[in-house]
Amino acid sequence: MSPELQKKLIDDHPELYRHELPFGIECGDGWFDLLDQLSSQLECLAGDIPKNSEHYPFATQVKSKFAFLCWYGENLTDEMEATIEEASQRSKVKCETCGKPGKVVQKKRWYVVCCEEHA
Ligand SMILES: [Zn+2]
């Protein structure tokens, strides 16, 4: 993901991304909205957990893997895990480059989600 969008995501959800991700956010810009929405949902589900608490959820790795979004974190409840799984399902039909509807295609050794234009 471009440095600008990564910064925006982290600035908008500072507690969730309080620990620097070693490889940054490893997916295309097309999934920004999906990640932004997922992050808001997780914040909502965190409910009464104080934002400065060590028990507040946070991301440890965010990446595209076999053409779907993987969001790994700590302090996640079952409900949060289910929400992350839903976001992963939605990523499978969203072009990773532009966010338009897409499908999984193989590019060299990688599987990625592409719309017709970016296939
Ligand atoms: Zn596209």
12: in domain:
yes
With left for phi above 0 and alpha for psi between -120 and 50, is residue 24 left, alpha or beta? left
pLDDT, mean over the chain: 96
Distance 14 CA to ligand 1 centre (A): 28
Distance 53 CA to ligand 1 centre (A): 39
Distance 100 CA to ligand 1 centre (A): 6
Give the 3-state secondary structure of residue 28: coil
82: in domain:
yes
115: in domain:
no
Distance 97 CA to ligand 1 centre (A): 5
Report the DSSP beta bridge partners of residue 61: 72
Check: CB of residue 74 under 8 Å from CB of residue 60.
yes
Assessment of whether the complete model's pTM goes beyond 0.75: yes
Domain count, the chain: 1
Domain of residue 76, residue span: 3-92
pLDDT digits (tens, 9 = 90+) for 4-52: 999 999 999 999 999 999 999 999 999 999 999 999 999 999 999 999 9
Distance 73 CA to ligand 1 centre (A): 28
- pLDDT at position 76 is 98
